[in-house]
Amino acid sequence: MTRVLVVDDDLQLLRALRINLTARGYNVVTAADGRTGLRATAESHPDVIVLDLGLPDLDGTDVITELRGFTATPIIVLSARTDSSDKVLALDKGADDYVTKPFGVDELMARLRAAVRRASGTTSGDDMPVEAGELTIDLGAKIVRLAGEDVHLTPTEWTILELLVRHRGRLVSRRQLLAQVWGAAERKDTGYLRVYLAQLRRKLERDPSHPEHLITEAGMGYRFET
């Protein structure tokens, strides 16, 4: 069942979309503000996100930026903003589609189906096992092996590792990691990350004090190298 996250502060609209989407066979999760939407994305792993831009706590474009820090899930903007500059900004930030209010339910359903089709057609290889020295990381099965032996990770450790591996070779900022793991885009306490990265290195690196795979970029974030 396709899971849809709807982020909008219009409670009547949320209710209407829940009813309509559920009737069409979707599993619906709702959030009434941006921070709740970020947490819901990290916790429920939706297949597609429908996002309003005019949220009470964060601008929708900022939410898109935060989402793109940790997920490739399709984002369909659903907004009353009709100016072309708003559309361009949202798409440049990483939205996949833009629907203006008022809208037709049939049109939204078609956009949802198209977004899910595109995503399923382009991410099929994302869960292939990743080899890094003695490490084997199977993203699909959520299994990590070191020299052929299974390594037990806590859910938080796995979430951090998965995000880094999916962005392997690229910097992942501390803010992106905090948003994904704790669902708080504004969290400033990077001590969480230092603790968990140290734990991951003890479990996965041959020499935790000189890591080969879990690399710190001082003052910026972390990077996974194969």
Give the CATH number for residue 178: 1.10.10.10
Say yes or no: 117 and 218 in one domain.
no
pLDDT value of position 85:
83
Per-residue pLDDT of 27-62, as tens digits, reads 999 999 999 999 999 999 999 999 999 999 999 999
Say yes or no: 11 and 114 in one domain.
yes
Say yes or no: 77 and 141 in one domain.
no
- Is the pTM higher than 0.85? The answer reads no
pLDDT value of position 97:
85
Domain that holds residue 90: 3-122
pLDDT above 80 for 183: no
| Chain centre distance of CA 3 | 14
pLDDT value of position 52:
96
Say yes or no: 116 and 153 in one domain.
no
Say yes or no: 21 and 51 in one domain.
yes
pLDDT value of position 25:
93
Domain end marker among 122, 149, 165: 122
Say yes or no: 115 and 8 in one domain.
yes
Say yes or no: 219 and 161 in one domain.
yes
pLDDT above 60 for 121: no
Per-residue pLDDT of 147-179, as tens digits, reads 999 998 877 788 889 989 988 888 888 887 887
Q: Can you list the positions of beta strands (E) in 105-213?
A: 130-132, 135-138, 143-146, 149-150, 172-173
The overall average pLDDT reported for the chain is: 86
When pLDDT is averaged across residues 190-195 and rounded to a whole number, the result is: 75
Q: Can you list the positions of beta strands (E) in the chain?
A: 3-7, 27-31, 48-51, 75-79, 97-100, 130-132, 135-138, 143-146, 149-150, 172-173, 214-217, 221-224
When divided into structural domains, the chain yields a total of 2
How far is the C-alpha of 15 from the C-alpha of 6, rounded, in Å? 10
